[in-house]
Amino acid sequence: MEQKRTLIHNVIVVNEGTANLGYVLTQGEFIATTGAGDPDPSMMEGAEVIDGGGRLLLPGVIDTHVHFRDPGLTHKADMATESRAAVAGGVTSFIDMPNTKPPTVNRRALADKLKRASEVSLANYGFFIGATADNLEELKATDYTKCAGVKLFMGSSTGGMLVDSLTVMERIMAEVPALMAVHAEDEALLRANREAVVSRYGEELEMEFHPVIRNHQVCMKASQRAVETARKMNHRLHLLHVSTADELQLLEPGAPEGKLITAETCPQYLAFSDEQYSMLGARIKCNPAIKRPADRDALREAVKDGRIDTIATDHAPHLLEEKRGTALTAVSGMPLIQFSLTLMLQMVEEGLFDIRDVVTKMCHNPAIIYGIDRRGFIRPGYYADLVMVDNDCEPYTITDAWALSRCGWTPLSGLTVNNKVDFTMVNGESAYRFGVLFSSVRGKALRFTPKE
Ligand code: DOR
Ligand code: ZN
């Protein structure tokens, strides 16, 4: 059978540090050719031709930090609903976290997730296995060509998968040949902060207290320990959702290749600060907490100089009912996958970032850091995961009604933007086009090159 070919031309191709007018020809699942200027007319023969009208064409976003809640918490979200939100937002691959029900802490739970994703996911998928105090044998026996790495929670968050012993962390690093991704918040310190705040102000705490309890020291202490341990054990460590200026001292600028320690931040730490709690309340309550304007500004600088290597969403849907309550009782986490690229491009529009850096942090570096097979770049022979964005559209205001996530809301409700995702291609197939989802499209399992 003839393989389907699609020619996308008259687009600004943003890839590997350049942004030039050009074209991409896909054939079957893969990119066949890409070039500058106009394509040779012979390429149009037998191909579906898409005139991009000067829009941007980027590699599909790889969101390496999501909580799709499937299995067990599917009243909030599931892989079908959230993968739709993903492709509508230009995300063609995701890596999901283990704090589901049951938690993904053994090979069986991992296999179940892979099977479920193959049945329902519109985007390509990968999964972490979670560390516990006693699952070393499972971690050792896992095939890390099919699993993104080991996720370890140093501080408690949704799901109660806490490992606050450095001895356990060391043993895993010594014996498990896989990248370790950590949620670095110091459990003892955050408990002490919580007690101190409650004894002084009582339990009816406004949301502004969230970053007082989960403060800078809570993050710094845990990140420092994780980094020291990784250095001592000479083990690959990826610090998740870095939220403070302090932690940036632990990181090196430049490209991720060759680094022992790499780091992620999320759009919410780049766009918001604690000044927004009074307006947005629990909608922007997440762990780690969003900190001060000075932290936000320092994180922006670190994205530019490479101390921050990746931008992922920490997409963590919860129902708005679950978001009611105080700084102690409202659940933590927000959905973001559908609007993360739009939010980052809006910050480009405001002059805060260069679009090429956004592509590096959201597409290229995730593929490099997790060793993802043939994705994250626009290169011949790579999978045709592409996103076309109109970055000069009529301004429109995002509202909760736009949210495709099951939880039905977005922390960006009320934000006016002038860019939108128009077209998302996953493995050479249209998954989303001008507001229409092609629900029968299925992504593939990501393949990884394990890194010790
Ligand atoms: O805010 C958060 N929400 N932080 C986490 O670490 C977990 C996540 C969730 O699963 O809800
Ligand atoms: Zn998370």
pLDDT score of 418? 98
Among protein residues, the one whose CA lies closest to atom 7 of ligand 1: 158
182-199 tens-digit pLDDT: 999 999 999 999 999 999
Neighbouring residues of 341: CB distance < 8 A, sequence distance ≥ 6: 58, 61, 89, 90, 91, 358, 362, 387, 389, 421
Q: What is the pLDDT of residue 23?
A: 98
| Cβ of 332 below 6 Å from ligand 1 | yes
Q: Which of 185, 287, 334 to mutate to test the pocket of ligand 1 (most atoms within 8 A of CB)?
A: 287
Ligand 1 atom 4, closest CA:
287
User: Does 114 score more than 70 pLDDT?
Assistant: yes
CA distance 213 to 196: 9
pLDDT of 245 > 70? The answer is yes
Which long-range contacts link 24-29 to residues 24+ away (Cβ below 8 Å)?
24/57, 24/378, 24/384, 24/386, 26/384, 26/386, 26/425, 26/428, 27/3, 27/428, 28/3, 28/4, 28/428, 29/383, 29/384, 29/427, 29/428
Q: For the chain, give the percent of residues with pLDDT over 70.
A: 99
Q: Which tens digit of pLDDT belongs to each residue from 283-304?
A: 999 999 999 999 999 999 999 9
Is the minimum distance from the CB of 313 to ligand 1 under 6 angstroms? Answer: no
Quick: pLDDT tens for 338-350.
999 999 999 999 9
Identify whether the C-beta of residue 279 lies closer than 8 Å to the C-beta of residue 330: no
Q: What is the pLDDT of residue 300?
A: 98
pLDDT tops 70 at residue 4: yes
Is 70 exceeded by the pLDDT of residue 452? no
Predicted confidence (pLDDT) at residue 170 exceeds the cutoff of 80: yes
Ligand nearest to the Cα of 156, by number: 1
Q: What is the pLDDT of residue 159?
A: 76
User: Of 100, 101, 152, 157, which is best to mutate to test ligand 1, by the most ligand atoms within 8 angstroms of its C-beta?
Assistant: 157
pTM score > 0.95 for this model? yes
Within 10 Å of residue 378's Cβ, how many Cβ atoms? Answer: 23
| Any atom of ligand 1 within 6 Å of the Cβ of 411 | no
Instruction: Tell me what the mean pLDDT of segment 66-95 comes to.
Output: 98
- 183 Cβ closer than 6 Å to some ligand 1 atom: yes
Determine the distance separating the centroid of ligand 1 and the alpha carbon of 157, expressed in angstroms. 6
Tell me which ligand sits closest to the C-alpha of residue 268: 1
Which of 1-5, 210-214, 405-409 has the weakest average pLDDT? 1-5
pLDDT higher than threshold 80 for residue 330: yes
399-446 residue pLDDT tens: 999 999 999 999 999 999 999 999 999 999 999 999 999 999 999 999
pLDDT of residue 263: 99
| Cβ of residue 132 lying under 6 Å from some atom of ligand 1 | no
- Ion ligand 2 neighbours (CB, 5 A) are 314
Q: Could you give the count of Cα atoms lying within 13 Å of 53 in the half-sphere of its Cβ?
A: 8
The pLDDT of residue 1 is: 63
pLDDT at 164: 82
pLDDT recorded at residue 161: 83
